[in-house]
Chains A and B, each alone.
Chain A
């Protein structure tokens, strides 16, 4: 399991879904690119949402229309790769938040 302070998971979800990989790179155009691999430790399907936040070299949050909570499903014992690309080349760091779905519909 990866322990990175930039990856934040709520306590309930942490018991079911864990982060098992984190890769960082740059696109040919100079955008920061992140890939996170998550594993469902349970046998049942899990629903969760995640959101990436991007920060410039001064640690200021970059406001972007693409920073949204995205719902995903992961089947039991399955791994899933989540990728994200920074909205600007000025984004030097990121933070990603995972949480269990708050809506049960």
Chain B
């Protein structure tokens, strides 16, 4: 049977209607240039900020001034002062990994704000080891603490909306002096039709 116009129209229309609804999902490199850019803090913003922070910290030589190398680092409070719910480890973990790889600093996981350990089991093992040791050695204290803040500032002019994220970090030695400080600002612009604010 020779297909007529209407017998072809129906499946083609169905393909266009339902095929148009299909999503096309693909992997992209997390640190690559094809990631989605929105006015929220995107995953790549943490990467840009961490890259700048590490570059500045390693170049400063602040971590080289301790008697025992590598220096010992404890993570203090990282304040999220943005309108978004974000996990600040997206920034801090990258910095920790980079410092660990650099050989300049190791981060303690048994000390935290309010005495809460990041790794409670490691803290338990450490305490048990101290308990059973014949001679209790004084526990090594961190040479530095790392604290910081992420701030959001929004502006608009006509239909252009702008948002700036300021990533601020301070490295404080055990004399209470900030021996290294850095700020990285990331600004994005969008038009009202594209974004919902």
Among B13-21, B46-54, B133-141, B160-168, the stretch that binds chain A is B46-54
Most chain A CB neighbours (cut-off 10 Å) among B47, B48, B101, B102? B102
Query: Interface of chain B, helix or strand or loop or mixed?
Result: helix
Q: Closest CB of chain B to A32's CB: distance in Å?
A: 10
A87: B residues at CB distance < 8 A: 54, 58, 98, 101-102
**Chain B neighbourhood of A69, CB < 8 A:** 29, 31-33
Bin the interface of chain A by size.
20 to 34
- B24: which A residues are within 8 A, CB to CB? none
- The answer to whether the Cβ of B55 comes within 8 Å of any Cβ in the partner chain is yes
Could you list 17 examples of A-B contacts with CB < 8 Å? A27-B58, A28-B61, A28-B64, A29-B59, A29-B61, A66-B50, A66-B51, A68-B31, A68-B51, A69-B31, A69-B32, A85-B58, A87-B102, A88-B101, A89-B103, A101-B33, A102-B34
Q: Which residues of B contact A (CB under 8 A)?
A: 29, 31-34, 37, 44, 47-48, 50-51, 54-55, 58-59, 61, 63-64, 94, 97-98, 101-104
CB distance from B157 to the nearest CB of A (A): 19
Question: Which of A27, A65, A85, A103 is the one whose CB lies under 8 Å from B50?
Answer: A65
Mark interface residues in A75-89 (1 if CB within 8 Å of B CB, else 0). Answer: 000000001110111
Cβ-closest chain A residue relative to B61: A28
Q: Give the CA-CA distance A85 to B55 in the complex, in Å.
A: 5
A3 within 8 A of partner (CB): no
Contact A103 B55 (CB under 8 A): no
Please, what's the 1-or-0 string for A85-103, where 1 marks a CB less than 8 Å from any CB in chain B? 1011100000000010111
Q: Is A71 an interface residue (CB 8 A)?
A: yes
Do A65 and B33 touch (CB < 8 A)? no
List A24-53 residues whose CB lies under 8 Å from chain B: 27-29, 31, 33, 49
Known: A85-B55, A88-B102. A67 touches B63 (CB 8 A): no
Residue contact A68 to B48, C-beta cutoff 8 Å: yes
A87, A99, A101 pick with most chain B CB within 10 angstroms:
A87
What's the Cα separation between A101 and B44 when bound, in Å?
14
Q: Output the least CB separation between A26 and chain B (Å).
A: 10
